[in-house]
């Protein structure tokens, strides 16, 4: 196979939902994403953006087509390989990835590091650093129930990024945030993208943010139009 600097290669991707009334959410979609690219996905409601993100996140399987992530065909993996690829390659900034209510902001962000086997001191330091960067230095020991929606979202952003996944995917990562917090989160993602050569793929309705990314991929009716 020829060597490529693409971290993601998608070919002929199709997703059909439903038995009875069928909906073709993705309709033969091709997409290459370069390592270290910062990409935004835009398009009208129902065009297939979240479906595509779920496929890239190895959270759902396509009806047809292939997805290569970091050279591995994730569409031919069994469940165990899929979950291992998900844990080692990907970070998620999704609204439904809830924080654990009985743990503080700091503990929630430390969790992925502790699971990965890091020492508590080191995990604490790294989690504190990221929480500081998302502007929550003075909320480390608050529980999710004591934080606002936007603050919880920033905790979730810190948690998704803390173990430096190669690819970070986000569905409206700045959706609940005011423009100042939203800019701040974007700047943080950009900084990590440059420092650690992490690849970012974000679905967004925020044209302002989309314009700042390296490339805008526009989806209409399950196909890429530009
Ligand atoms: N689990 C499902 N079962 C059946 N149909 C689905 C399912 N998920 C999505 N769809 C349909 O697939 C199409 C694409 O949905 P998708 O959520 O990917 O769109 P989207 O571009 O993310 O929309 P939005 O911007 O509104 O979030 C829609 O017509 C939707 O109704």
Instruction: Name the region of 110 (left: φ>0; alpha: ψ -120 to 50; beta: rest).
Output: alpha
- Overall domain count for the chain: 1
Q: Does the residue 220 lie in any domain?
A: yes
Q: Does the residue 113 lie in any domain?
A: yes
The model carries a pTM of 0.89
- Greater pLDDT, 115 or 8: 8
Q: Does the residue 47 lie in any domain?
A: yes
Spatial CA neighbour of 108 closest among 74, 151, 155, 72:
155
- Name which residue sits closest to atom 6 of ligand 1, judged by CA: 17
Which CATH number belongs to the domain containing residue 40 in this structure? 3.40.50.300
* Best probe residue, ligand 1, of 41, 50, 56 (max atoms within 8 Å of C-beta): 50
Token reading at 111: 């969790």
Spatial CA neighbour of 15 closest among 43, 45, 44, 56:
56
- Name which residue sits closest to atom 5 of ligand 1, judged by CA: 17
Spatial CA neighbour of 155 closest among 180, 125, 185:
185
Determine the structural domain holding residue 22 and report its residue range: 6-224
What's the Cα-to-Cα distance from 147 to each of 99, 116, 168, rounded to whole Å? 11, 27, 24
- 226: pLDDT strictly greater than 80: no
Span 91-104, pLDDT tens digits: 988 876 679 999 99
- Confidence (pLDDT) at 69: 96
Query: Could you tell me if the ipTM is greater than 0.85?
Result: yes
In residues, how long is the chain? 226
Token reading at 19: 């038995």
Span 18-65, pLDDT tens digits: 878 899 999 999 999 999 999 999 999 999 999 999 999 999 999 999
Any residues with Cβ below 6 Å from ligand 1, and which? Answer: 17-18, 23, 25, 43, 45-51
Q: Does the residue 1 lie in any domain?
A: no
Q: Does the residue 134 lie in any domain?
A: yes
What's the CA gap between 163 and 179, in Å, rounded? 26
Span 115-132, pLDDT tens digits: 889 999 999 999 999 999
């Amino acid at each position: 196979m020829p060597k490529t600097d693409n971290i993601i290669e998608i070919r002929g991707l199709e997703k059909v939902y439903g038995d009875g009334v069928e909906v073709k959410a993705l309709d033969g979609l091709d997409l290459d994403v370069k390592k270290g690219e910062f990409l935004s996905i835009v398009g009208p409601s129902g065009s297939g953006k979240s479906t595509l993100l779920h496929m890239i996140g190895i959270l759902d399987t396509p009806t047809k087509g292939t997805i290569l992530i970091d050279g591995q065909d994730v569409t031919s993996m069994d469940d165990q390989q899929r979950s291992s690829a998900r844990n080692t390659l990907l970070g998620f900034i999704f609204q439904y990835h809830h924080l654990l209510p009985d743990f503080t902001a700091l503990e929630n962000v430390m969790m992925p590091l502790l699971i990965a086997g890091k020492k508590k001191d080191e995990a604490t330091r790294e989690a504190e650093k990221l929480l500081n960067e998302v502007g929550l230095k003075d909320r480390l020991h608050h529980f999710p129930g004591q934080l606002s929606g936007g603050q919880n979202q920033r905790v979730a952003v810190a948690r998704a990024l803390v173990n430096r996944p190669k690819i970070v995917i986000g569905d409206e990562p700045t959706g609940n945030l005011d423009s100042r917090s939203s800019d701040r989160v974007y700047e943080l993602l950009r900084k990590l993208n440059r420092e650690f050569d992490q690849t970012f793929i974000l679905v967004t309705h925020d044209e302002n943010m989309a314009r700042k990314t390296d490339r805008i991929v526009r989806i209409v009716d399950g196909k890429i139009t530009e």
